[in-house]
């Protein structure tokens, strides 16, 4: 197994897409990039679920990828979200990301149309074979309505540039099967499951909470990587209430954008059909951030 040699091991952060008066705020996006680089984040992940990719136009999607690549300027890796329920669209976006200078592509399982497992295999195969950059399979059946079964992922592992899986099924047995049967690097897609996945052989996380506490997530991962398991467990228990009480308030990225607004780092604007937290939910979020020490 070669997972620990993966250049994307460590903390990747699923960036929000900042809006101001309905338009993408590219200055705020560049500030987000600087914040993450200063913290030591290994990889930036624009236009994924947290980046509200379903409501970005194709032009905005491409511009956000390019803007993050240019702002990072080689100081952190960029894994661009390029998935779609249309294979042709995923091909086009992934090829764009490569041309723009992204280091890897995060390709979500085709959503809504619920392909067969053979359809899943052919979708990821065609996308991966159309580019030279590494591809990360993003498996999140809670949003796509269909699991990419471990047997399908094991088949896909034979394709040279499919090198990673963002595991967001919440099924530890599925992650174990992938880890024991392939050399794919498994990255947690759930902040609160980062330490359990690391203990099974995962190598990092594509984090939402890392938008506000990247240093703490890095501390957890580094502690485990350096065999300081007790420290890693302490970081897990410190981060867990934040993950549970903030991210559990509403659909991602509603709570993280609200938190960034409270911390003075974002307008908090969302695009419909996402709607802001209620007053009661905002008060709960303020209490969570205060208890953590952020407010």
| Among 240, 250, 194, residue whose Cα is nearest residue 218 | 194
Element containing residue 121 per DSSP (H, E):
helix 117-129
Query: Catalytic annotation on 292?
Result: no
Position 5 scores a pLDDT of 75
Q: Which is it for the CA torsion 31, 98, 8, 120, positive or negative?
A: positive
Q: How far is CA 141 from CA 18, 58, 121, 169, 242, in A?
A: 26, 24, 15, 6, 24
Band of residue 12 on the pLDDT scale cut at 50, 70, 90: very high
Position 34 scores a pLDDT of 98
Helix 87-100 with 58-72: angle, nearest 10 deg:
30
Q: How far is CA 294 from CA 116, 210, 285, in A?
A: 45, 13, 11
Query: Catalytic annotation on 114?
Result: no
* pLDDT higher than 70, residue 220: yes
Phi/psi region, residue 174 (left: phi>0; alpha: psi -120 to 50; beta: rest), is: alpha
Position 6 scores a pLDDT of 86
Domain edges within the chain: 3-227
Q: How far is CA 99 from CA 16, 70, 92, 95, 124, in A?
A: 22, 12, 11, 6, 19
Contact between 11 and 207 under an 8 Å Cβ cutoff? The reply is: yes
Rg (CA), the chain: 18
Which of 26, 121, 138, 292 is catalytic? The answer is 138
| Among 245, 37, 141, 7, residue whose Cα is nearest residue 15 | 37
Q: How much is the pTM?
A: 0.96
- Cα 5 from chain centroid (whole Å): 20
**Interior CA angle at 270 toward 267 and 274, to 5°?**
150
* pLDDT higher than 60, residue 2: no
* pLDDT higher than 80, residue 3: no
60-114: per-residue pLDDT in tens?
999 999 999 999 999 999 999 999 999 999 999 999 999 999 999 999 999 999 9
Band of residue 13 on the pLDDT scale cut at 50, 70, 90: very high
Which of 77, 166, 257, 292 is catalytic? The answer is 166
246-277: per-residue pLDDT in tens?
999 999 999 999 999 999 999 999 999 999 99
Position 1 scores a pLDDT of 35
144-182: per-residue pLDDT in tens?
999 999 999 999 999 999 999 999 999 999 999 999 999
Band of residue 4 on the pLDDT scale cut at 50, 70, 90: low
Tokens of 177: 């099967």
Q: What is the CATH T-level fold of the domain 3-227, as seen in this structure?
A: TIM Barrel (3.20.20)
If one counts every other C-beta atom within 10 angstroms of the C-beta of residue 271, the result is: 12
Element containing residue 108 per DSSP (H, E):
strand 104-108
């Amino acid at each position: 197994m070669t997972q620990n040699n993966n250049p994307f091991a460590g903390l990747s952060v699923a960036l929000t897409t900042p809006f101001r008066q309905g338009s993408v705020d590219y200055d705020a996006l560049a500030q987000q990039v600087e914040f993450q680089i200063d913290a030591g984040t290994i990889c930036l992940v624009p236009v994924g679920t947290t980046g509200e990719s379903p409501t970005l136009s194709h032009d905005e999607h491409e511009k956000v990828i390019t803007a993050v690549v240019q702002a990072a300027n080689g100081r952190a890796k960029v894994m661009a979200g390029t998935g779609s329920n249309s294979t042709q669209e995923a091909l086009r976006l992934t090829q764009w990301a490569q041309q723009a200078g992204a280091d890897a592509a995060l390709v979500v399982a085709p959503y809504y149309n619920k392909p067969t497992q053979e359809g899943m295999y052919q979708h990821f195969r065609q996308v991966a074979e159309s580019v030279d950059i590494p591809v990360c399979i993003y498996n999140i059946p809670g949003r796509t309505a269909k699991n990419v079964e471990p047997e399908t992922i094991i088949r896909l592992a034979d394709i040279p540039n499919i090198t990673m899986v963002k595991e967001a099924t919440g099924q530890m047995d599925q992650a174990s099967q992938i880890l024991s049967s392939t050399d794919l690097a498994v990255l947690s897609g759930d902040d609160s499951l980062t330490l359990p996945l690391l203990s099974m052989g995962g190598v990092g996380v594509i984090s939402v909470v890392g938008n506000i506490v990247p240093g703490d997530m890095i501390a957890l991962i580094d502690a485990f990587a350096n065999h300081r398991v007790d420290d890693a467990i302490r970081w897990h228990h410190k981060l867990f209430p934040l993950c549970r009480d903030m991210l559990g308030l509403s659909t991602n990225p509603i709570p993280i954008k609200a938190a960034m607004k409270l911390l003075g780092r974002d307008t908090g604007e969302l695009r419909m059909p996402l709607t802001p937290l209620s007053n009661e939910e905002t008060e709960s979020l303020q209490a969570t951030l205060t208890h953590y020490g952020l407010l």
